[in-house]
Chain A
Amino acid sequence: MKKIIEINNISVDYDLEDDQEPAINNVSLDINENEFVCILGPSGCGKSTLLKAIAGFVKPFKGNVLMNGVEIIGPDKLRGVVFQEPNLFPWYNVFQNVAIGPKLGKTSKIEINRIVDKYLAQVELLEFKNAKVFELSGGQKQRVAIARTLANNPEVILMDEPFGALDSFTRQKMQTMIRELWNKNNATIFFVTHDIDEALSLATKIYVMRSGEKSIVMDYDLNYTFRLLKNPKERVYEEKEFILLKDEIISLLEE
């Protein structure tokens, strides 16, 4: 397994001058190719900050983040980001939003069309190609945002609670979809969530983050996502092992 991202003992503080504790403290982890990594933790524990450090939006005051061995110093197209609030550009329609990355990369018109069609089909929004983005529902917007990121073919996709604002029904469908997209595109995903079921059902690897430490306290290797890939209807949630694991994580987060 190829190591794509290497996080070496980073600490991030938004304002070093104030008396506030750092937003994250001494976090280390690796993201390997084709992994589906979930960061799980309560709100305020520093999940988004960790994601921002990987994206290159914030700089750690201690430690470093390497991508393919090179230190990350700012945002670039190797790491795609899907935000919690879909931030499609309203002045562009669905097609144009998904086409941004390929267009900036000076891809030919025919190739751009092919790429956009491919990923809009994957998120099942091909018929909305010419729609204005503000006419879409929350779930549809997020699917376009995902297609936009996929179309740029990043080496790793960072997602910050992408389904957090959606109703539970849409959320479930989106989880199934993202799992399939991850598999189909051989993608590597770094996924932030505070929802234990979501993490357990999607991740190949979970890192649990705690508010007290502002750091990772435990990690788990999982295979539910592979089983759900084969049969999305399988009731893994009812298995004893699943429930026990869930309880363990809950008690870990309650400490």
Chain B
Amino acid sequence: MKFKRTIVWTVVITLWFLFTMYQLKEGFNGAVVIPNPYLVIKSFINILKNGYASHTLLQHAGASFGRLFTAILIAVLTAIPLGLLCGYVKKIETVVSTIVEFIRPLPPLAYYTIIILATQIGNTSKVILLFIAAFAPMYIACVQAVKQVRKDYILSSQTLGANGIQIFRNVVLPSALPNIFTGIRTAIGVAYTTLVSAEMVAAKSGLGYMILYAYNVFQTEVVFVGIILIGISAVLLDDLLKFTEKKLVFWKGQA
């Protein structure tokens, strides 16, 4: 797995290098559409040293990850309990799912304006946007998780004397763990894709903001730095979750 991924990346970077090696063609308004790797690395080191758009790189990254993690944490704390509850109680599920199913396919920018009007342009609006994006995948995964619990596990625990709460603790929650992890991973993915949108409007820092700023001044190499940083952090975060899942849900695929 790791080995294969290394090969893919080696090939991609080599191709990138080859295609941009003799790059003379100038893009739109003199900017290079695809800067070569050397340019991107140079730009990265420069930003690392001197910052960009009146913030250090660490401040940009910190702002973005701060928003992301706050939003994901709030989503974990709300969507998972609510999803698990809705898996149990059909009536509540009907109410919540109807709303979630409506909001889920909406493009975030469509309701972003409303959020900004309600909360002003500070950090809160961005966190809320990311939270909404992260909520649905976690919620849906948890509802499904409860519905998919093996009936004979529940019956078994009842014959062993378990009451409602004990069934939840001993059977439903552990059964749901694999789905919960999938939900969290999907949610993080969706939140990431919303990050740039969230930092598009009235932001002063963040990796998304940095990308948009660079785009406005035609510094595509900075755009690339931003994209690569977001991409790498997403892959690493997903790896961390996969690793945690493997440790925590050690029985997955075994029984």
Contacts and interface: CB of A to CB of B under 8 A. Distances in A.
Given A83-B152, A100-B170, A104-B166, A90 B255 contact: yes
A164 interface: no
A104 B162 contact: yes
B161 interface: yes
Nearest to B152: A87
Contacts of A80: 159-160
A132 B250 CA distance: 10
Given A90-B255, A91-B251, A134-B255, A76 B150 contact: no
B88 to A, nearest CB: 17
B123 interface: no
B159 A91 contact: no
B81 interface: no
Contact of A87 (B153, B161, B174, B249): B153
B193 interface: no
A55 B155 contact: yes
A214 interface: no
A100 B156 CA distance: 10
Interface string B242-255: 00000001110011
Interface string B149-182: 0101101111111100010001100100100000
Nearest to A84: B152
A152 B255 contact: no
A237 interface: no
B161 to A, nearest CB: 3
B159 A55 contact: yes
A1 to B, nearest CB: 24
Nearest to B166: A104
Interface string A225-246: 0000000000000000000000
Interface string A16-60: 000000000000000000000000000000000000000101000
A100 B153 CA distance: 12
Contact of A105 (B155, B161, B170, B171): B161
Given A89-B174, A91-B251, A132-B251, A75 B152 contact: no
B159 A77 contact: yes
B155 A57 contact: yes
Contacts of A74: 158
Contacts of B161: 76-77, 101, 104-105, 152
Interface string B74-93: 00000000000000000000
A204 B171 CA distance: 36
A101 B160 CA distance: 5
B157 A100 contact: yes
A85 B159 CA distance: 16
A74 B159 CA distance: 9
Contacts of B158: 74-76
A81 interface: yes
Nearest to A134: B254
A103 B96 CA distance: 36
A79 interface: yes
Nearest to A55: B159
Contact of B156 (A76, A81, A132): A81
B148 to A, nearest CB: 15
Contacts of A89: 153, 170-171, 174
Contacts of B250: 132
Contact of A83 (B156, B174, B177, B255): B156
A132 B170 CA distance: 16
B155 A81 contact: yes
Given A91-B174, A133-B255, 8 more contacts: A55-B159, A75-B155, A81-B159, A83-B156, A89-B171, A132-B251, A152-B161, A154-B159
14 contacts: A76-B159, A76-B161, A80-B159, A83-B156, A87-B153, A88-B255, A104-B160, A105-B161, A132-B251, A132-B254, A133-B255, A134-B254, A148-B160, A152-B159
Closest 3 CB pairs of A and B: A77-B161, A90-B255, A90-B251
